[in-house]
Amino acid sequence: MLFVSWSFAVFLPVVLCLYYWSGRQGWQVSLLTLASFVFYGWANPRLVPLLALSALVNAVASQELISGGRSDFRRRTVLALALLYNLGALLFFKYAALVGEFLLPATLWTGWGPWLKGIPLPVGISFFTFQGISLVVDAWHAGTRGVAGLPPPVGGREVGWHYWKVTFFKAFFPQLIAGPIVKANEFFFQIGPKRLREADGYGAIRLLILGFFLKMVVADNLREVTEGIRYPEFQSLSRINLIALLYAFSFQILADFGGYSIIAMGLAKLFGYELPRNFNHPYLSRSITEFWRRWHITLSSWLREYLYIPLGGNRHGSLATYRNLFVVMFLGGLWHGAAWSYAVWGSAHGLLLAGERFFLKQHQQTAPSGWTPTGVARAFLTFSLVSVLWLLFKLPEFRHVVEYVKSVAHNGGPPNVQALYVITVFSTPVLLWELWGASERMRASWPEPVRAWTARGAYAVMLFLIVTNSGSPGEFIYFQF
């Protein structure tokens, strides 16, 4: 079910009314869990057993890991089996064809290839798999202390409640399909009875207006233009249009994924839950390192906590640090998709991160800060590098990316003015959003009435444009990951 569909427009108020009809914790958790399974299986009910099995495996494993009386050997075995299940399911459904093509001899690939390529990709599996890993790893480290909000269960009733809470954590529909990636220690302590009078309705509405505006007005309208980034059609476009399309897709992917994350935060707030912020004006970044502190923050945090630090982080010298940065970003690239173009994308970011760290260390410099002319130039360079690398998302075949770059270098001719106009109109809101983030300190000095009325005016304009100028609806870009 899409957030921008009419079915969701009916689903949400019905669930919301039933949810607050009773303030009992058990009823609310049960209702939201069942509603989340309906949401997940709406278009394809065959996916529901996979999510249910994932919840069950991680519930059993986490219960074993936080309960007393378990030997170290048993706990290590449970952790290993849980990680094997989570990673194995992700590997099978998402990477079986890629691994098979790479490892199988040509004769076997001829027979097995069509079957492996036909394995369906369950929507959201990359996100709820990472949630399961965070749960069992957090439970392993917590031991009998339990995860905050998820104490060791004692007795059959508490074990059943433990399973139900884990299922709720895994299935919670606002973040189920495309994040933010919520870690166990960020969610369970929030579970409790919720009352309508305590909900931050105003904050939720503001988030929903901003999120739907970014998705429906900005991303969906830009998508109609960036369809031009398609081989071989782009080879006939002028250099100016090709460059403009690069930046347009960069704005589109931020508006699309950022919009989804903001909608998810708003929906969760309606039900009394807080999801972590996933974007912090990433195109203001003055380095690739800063970009990854601002872009897809929950993925960056997850990779740092559950991969980079276990690999050794920066604790074993410069070479090991550079290696770890590269490995983490390589795997982070593959997390986005089962194609070598995503691995190249992640590897490029890993090399840039390592190169920045090496350069700053060699010249004994700190990361750039402040909006001096140098800072502005660095921000534009970072944004341009990021935008060029987004081509690997739009054109999964690497040779098509090479052809696009060649076309930028060689294609002259007059630009398509209409396309440039559309790009300018629908990219401007993203620029204004980023500038709004850059002006935060300045706005803090404004009188309170000015700040309040400026915000209200902005939300009123966005709501008007949602009604009058939405593009043709389409799936969120990160649904494919």
pLDDT number for residue 417:
92
Same domain, 44 and 138: yes
Structural domain boundaries enclosing 231:
201-286+368-480
Same domain, 185 and 212: no
Same domain, 439 and 383: yes
The amino acid occupying position 198 is E
346 is a domain residue: no
Q: Are 401 and 395 in contact (CB under 8 A)?
A: yes
Same domain, 41 and 176: yes
Question: Per the structure block, which two tokens stand in for 285?
Answer: 């970044």
Same domain, 241 and 99: no
411 is a domain residue: yes
Among 161, 178, 198, identify where a domain stops: 198
Same domain, 406 and 469: yes
CA-nearest of 25, 58, 200, 231 to 132 is: 58
Phi, psi of 381 (to 5 degrees): -65, -45
Tally of domains within the chain: 2
Same domain, 128 and 184: yes
| H or E element at residue 263 | helix 239-270
Rounded CA separation 289/382 (Å): 10
Among 198, 213, 248, identify where a domain stops: 198
56 is a domain residue: yes
Rounded CA separation 139/152 (Å): 10
409 is a domain residue: yes
Residues with catalytic function:
336
Same domain, 62 and 127: yes
Rounded CA separation 470/464 (Å): 10
399 is a domain residue: yes
Same domain, 271 and 229: yes
pLDDT number for residue 366:
61
359 is a domain residue: no
Rounded CA separation 38/52 (Å): 12
Same domain, 127 and 142: yes
Low-confidence ranges of the chain (pLDDT < 50): none
- pTM value is 0.92
Among 153, 181, 198, identify where a domain stops: 198
pLDDT number for residue 398:
84
310 is a domain residue: no
Sign of the Cα torsion 163, 167, 168, 169 reads positive
89 is a domain residue: yes
